[in-house]
Structure 1
Amino acid sequence: MNNAINITINAIQHIGIPVTDVTASQLFYSRLGFNKVMEAPFTDNGGTGTCVMMQRGNMIMELYQLPGAGLSEIRARGNGHIDHVAFDVSDIDEAFNVISEAGFNVIEPEPVFLQFWKNGCKYFNITGPDGERLEFNQVL
């Protein structure tokens, strides 16, 4: 049975990992040959968290520390240690419309803008059958 929707997915964009100490995690990944290519704050539940993108070749790991993020906050969020897989898309609005119209469980009501990277990015998430999050992301 092939009822795949017609959407262009270029590649896995990044893997998001919630961390309890973004500095220690950044050091760990740098020892594995990853370099910091972006760092930006974000708002979560009224507090400010930190996101660091670490890149090695065409692999990007997103390390993010939630406000007040100890291990209990990470576990309380209900995600595993790898939080999401992000797919790089060329047109976030088109991807959002195609995914929404196809009846997937879309979490956000519209693509969300973040002041990440040079000109920002837009993303939205869907959930899979076991609650895993798949992010669709366009770097602007």
Structure 2
Amino acid sequence: MAMMKLEHVGIMVSELERSMAFYTDVLGMELVGTLDHNTPGIRLAFLSYPGQTAQLELIEGYADRLPDEGQVHHVAITVDDIEAEVARLRAKGVRFLDEAITTLRNGARYIFFAGPDGERLELFQPPRG
């Protein structure tokens, strides 16, 4: 099967360093890494609990203001062949929110699509190697 696991949940934050400190110091997660997005001004941090593969993605710079209740931006699903999954989902009538697959600086690839109630979902193919 091409869809392999829950990859990450993306949460928009206003201050990346403050949020990283909260999730590590207060909630006991470990920082897996950070990444500057291809879009200038957007920074990402990935955290997880020891021994776990699913991650929390913190996204800074995507929106100027966040609602009081916070903002879950998307849920990502790991795939082994993103092109094949895009084709399979398109054939099932799934509506994609992006025109094309984005490749990040580290080689990871992603594309967003809509769930039945408009929720943002992401196909995520980790970097090769």
Shorter chain as normaliser: what TM range? Answer: 0.7 to 0.9
1:109 aligns with 2:96: no
Once the two structures are superposed, the pairs formed by residues 1-140 of structure 1 within 5 Å of their partners are: 8-31=2-25, 32-44=27-39, 47-56=40-49, 57-66=52-61, 69-70=63-64, 72=65, 74-75=66-67, 81-116=71-106, 120-140=107-127
Inter-partner Cα distance in structure 2 for 1:139 and 1:36: 17
List 4+ stretches of structure 1 deviating above 3 A.
none
Matched positions, count: 122
Paired AA for residue 97 in structure 1: A
Give the partner amino acid of 2:43: T
One-letter amino acid of the structure 1 residue matched with residue 92 of structure 2? A
In the alignment, structure 2 segments of 5+ residues that lack a partner are: none
Q: Distance in 2 between matches of 1:43 and 1:138?
A: 16
The residue type equivalent to 1:12 in the other structure is L
Q: Name the % identity.
A: 27
What is the root-mean-square deviation in Å for CA atoms of aligned residues?
1.8
Spell out, residue by residue over 1:71-98, the C-alpha distance to the aligned partner (whole angstroms, 9 max, x if none).
x2x35xxxx6111110001111111111
Partners in 2 of 1:59 and 1:104 — Cα distance? 24
Unaligned segments of structure 1, at least 5 residues: 1-6
Question: TM-score under structure 1 normalisation?
Answer: 0.78
